[in-house]
């Protein structure tokens, strides 16, 4: 990272390890164009007047986007565009808009090597913060000939806290060039945070539509790649786009955990517990991988409201967040697992009123493990005594055992009992934060080809 760059300043100013993981990745310019277009277009539908700060590296890249920025300016409170000046940079009609400010970056400014899109408003925040790889970073393969195959290092996020930190750094950097603009933006941000101290984009529902739009943009970009002989790295570009489709969902799931002060480690702990249960059940690797993804994403769908279920018979209403997952073919099986995590063993659950072995095995596993984890965390948070976790685990297990054959698969409750016994005897669970930028590495090519299993597969279960 370049000294003095906004990315480096953000990294240096963070209080690791308590801060939100940044989850760095490498992105092709082709991917970033699609991603930024999706995030920008959400401004048009967010219903607020955001502050938008961008870094385009060079004026000619801004000129390619100037027409769409005219439409964005109709909705934005203020747009600030940083770039090295080139012919036409200041002359384009969009540049003359009252709420559009251009900042000419000096040749030695490290921000001229960065690609930023920072959007902040009461109901929608998003950010892309990347820095172009140097010639040395490319190594022997050299800098690609095609512009859209250039690579950038950094991350993108919906996390309002990270966006606010970066906006402050960007505004301070702008002060080197235009102190009056810095004062104007500082005043705007002060009013924004006074009106809405906690930006609403931390709420997963607020970014669900944005995620759907991001995924659709990336899917469309993948279609455009087909039969395109212009690019030399079509397969790599395709995988980069797939990776970012999955990242969009993982980032939304991350927001759910971050916005829960009581249970911020839910996803990683449920992943660990499910992997332990999967090993006891001797499940195949592809199924464990699918369960791992389901665990990472299981909280993006709202908890079922069983009081809303009528006596009209089994049905399967559409859950918006799960439907969004189905936009990505690789995640359709994962979406089905998550959709049925509210089913009860006795058939009184949600959404389809399935009973017994008709409920997908993976859904039964996920539901039991996720609820066990949630109850342990809740009790640990609220308990007034100094009881050990060993006793706590046994107490929570007992509550699940009383619900066996009603809410839970009794065989899986027995497996959970074996897991608790192991934990009480000193077995530890790794709770490694989700590496969001693993992206397509989390997706096996045949992950969605296997049918959802209903029966329980295990040689250690009683018959």
Q: Is residue 452 part of a domain?
A: no
Share of the chain above pLDDT 70, in %: 78
Q: Which residue has the higher pLDDT, 390 or 1?
A: 1
Whether 163 and 125 have beta carbons less than 8 Å apart is answered as yes
Which range marks the domain in which residue 57 is found?
A: 6-258
> Total domain count for the chain?
2
Q: Is residue 461 part of a domain?
A: no
Distances (CA, A) of 10 to 7, 133, 294, 432: 5, 18, 31, 23
Tell me how far apart the alpha carbons of residues 364 and 374 are, in angstroms, rounded to a whole number. Answer: 15
Whether 360 and 272 have beta carbons less than 8 Å apart is answered as no
Tell me how far apart the alpha carbons of residues 137 and 152 are, in angstroms, rounded to a whole number. Answer: 10
Are 249 and 309 part of one and the same domain? no
Tell me how far apart the alpha carbons of residues 2 and 154 are, in angstroms, rounded to a whole number. Answer: 12
Assigned token pair, 97:
């808009």
Tell me how far apart the alpha carbons of residues 278 and 40 are, in angstroms, rounded to a whole number. Answer: 41
Are 299 and 372 part of one and the same domain? yes
Whether 419 and 458 have beta carbons less than 8 Å apart is answered as no
pLDDT, average across residues 364-370? 96
Q: Is residue 133 part of a domain?
A: yes
Are 232 and 272 part of one and the same domain? no
Q: Output the domain CATH number for residue 283.
A: 1.10.3210.10
Are 292 and 312 part of one and the same domain? yes
Tell me how far apart the alpha carbons of residues 388 and 400 are, in angstroms, rounded to a whole number. Answer: 19
Are 293 and 231 part of one and the same domain? no
Whether 374 and 263 have beta carbons less than 8 Å apart is answered as yes
Tell me how far apart the alpha carbons of residues 353 and 161 are, in angstroms, rounded to a whole number. Answer: 40
Q: Is residue 450 part of a domain?
A: no
Whether omega before 297 lies within 30 degrees of 0, making that bond cis, reads no
Are 116 and 63 part of one and the same domain? yes
Beta-carbon contacts of 315 under 8 Å, excluding residues fewer than 6 positions away, are 351, 352, 353
pLDDT at 422 over 90: no
Assigned token pair, 197:
């101290």
Query: In 10 A of CB 409, how many CB atoms?
Result: 22
Tell me how far apart the alpha carbons of residues 340 and 368 are, in angstroms, rounded to a whole number. Answer: 12
133 burial via Cβ count (<10 Å: 0-12, 13-18, 19+): middle
Are 229 and 347 part of one and the same domain? no
Are 365 and 274 part of one and the same domain? yes
Q: What are the pLDDT digits (tens) for 95-152?
A: 999 999 999 999 899 999 999 999 998 878 899 999 998 888 777 777 777 777 888 9
pLDDT at 459 over 60: no
Three-state secondary-structure class, residue 374: helix
Are 202 and 281 part of one and the same domain? no
Are 319 and 192 part of one and the same domain? no
Whether 339 and 329 have beta carbons less than 8 Å apart is answered as no
Distances (CA, A) of 222 to 37, 294, 329: 14, 24, 13
Domain boundary among 215, 232, 258: 258
Q: What are the pLDDT digits (tens) for 220-257?
A: 777 777 666 566 677 777 777 777 778 777 877 877 77
CA nearest 217: which of 92, 128, 100?
Answer: 128
Are 306 and 390 part of one and the same domain? yes
Whether 337 and 331 have beta carbons less than 8 Å apart is answered as no
Q: What are phi and psi of 207, to 5 degrees?
A: -110, 0
Q: Is residue 147 part of a domain?
A: yes
Helix or strand holding residue 127 (H, E): strand 126-132
Domain boundary among 205, 230, 258: 258
Q: What are the pLDDT digits (tens) for 30-64?
A: 888 888 998 898 888 777 789 999 999 988 989 99
Whether 207 and 214 have beta carbons less than 8 Å apart is answered as no
Are 271 and 245 part of one and the same domain? no
Helices (H) and strands (E) in the chain, counts: 16, 7
Q: What is the pTM of this model?
A: 0.74
């Amino acid at each position: 990272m370049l000294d003095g760059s906004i990315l480096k300043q953000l990294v240096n100013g963070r209080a690791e390890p308590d801060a939100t993981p940044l989850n760095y990745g490498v992105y092709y310019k082709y991917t970033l164009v699609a991603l930024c277009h999706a995030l920008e277009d959400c401004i048009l539908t967010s219903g607020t007047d955001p502050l938008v700060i961008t870094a385009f590296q060079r004026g000619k890249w801004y000129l390619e986007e100037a027409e769409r920025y005219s439409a964005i300016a109709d909705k934005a409170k203020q747009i600030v565009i940083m770039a090295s000046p080139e012919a036409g940079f200041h002359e384009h009609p969009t540049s003359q808009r009252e709420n559009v400010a251009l900042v000419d970056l000096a040749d030695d400014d490290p921000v001229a090597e960065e690609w930023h899109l920072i959007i902040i408003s009461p109901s929608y925040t998003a950010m892309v913060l990347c820095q172009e790889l140097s010639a040395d970073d490319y190594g022997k393969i050299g800098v690609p000939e095609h512009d859209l195959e250039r690579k950038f290092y950094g991350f993108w996020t919906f996390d309002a806290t990270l966006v606010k930190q970066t906006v402050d750094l960007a505004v301070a950097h702008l002060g080197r060039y235009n102190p009056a603009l810095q004062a104007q933006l500082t005043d705007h941000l002060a009013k924004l945070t006074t009106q809405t101290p906690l930006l609403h984009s931390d709420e997963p529902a607020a970014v669900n539509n944005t995620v759907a739009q991001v995924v659709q943009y990336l899917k469309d970009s993948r279609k455009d790649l087909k039969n395109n002989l212009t690019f030399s790295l079509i397969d790599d570009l395709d995988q980069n786009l797939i990776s970012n489709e999955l990242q969009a969902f993982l980032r939304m799931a991350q927001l759910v955990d971050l916005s829960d002060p009581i249970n911020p480690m839910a996803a990683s702990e449920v992943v660990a517990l499910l992997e332990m249960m999967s090993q006891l059940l001797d499940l195949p690797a592809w199924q464990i991988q699918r369960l791992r993804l389901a665990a990472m994403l299981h909280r993006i769908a709202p908890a079922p409201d069983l009081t809303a279920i009528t006596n009209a018979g089994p049905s399967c209403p559409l859950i918006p967040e799960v439907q969004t997952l189905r936009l990505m073919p690789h995640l359709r099986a994962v979406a089905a697992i998550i959709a049925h995590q509210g089913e009860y063993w006795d058939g009184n659950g949600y959404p389809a009123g399935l009973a017994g072995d008709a409920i997908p095995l993976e859904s039964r596993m996920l539901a039991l493990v996720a609820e066990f984890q949630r109850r342990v965390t809740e009790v640990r948070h609220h308990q007034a005594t100094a009881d050990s976790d060993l006793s706590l685990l046994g107490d929570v297990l007992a509550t699940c055992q009383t619900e066996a054959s009603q809410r839970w698969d009794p065989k899986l409750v027995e497996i959970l009992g074996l897991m608790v016994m192991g934990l009480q005897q000193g077995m530890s669970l790794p709770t490694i934060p989700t590496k969001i930028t693993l992206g397509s590495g989390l997706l096996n090519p045949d992950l969605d080809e296997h049918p959802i299993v209903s029966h329980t597969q295990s040689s250690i279960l009683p018959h």
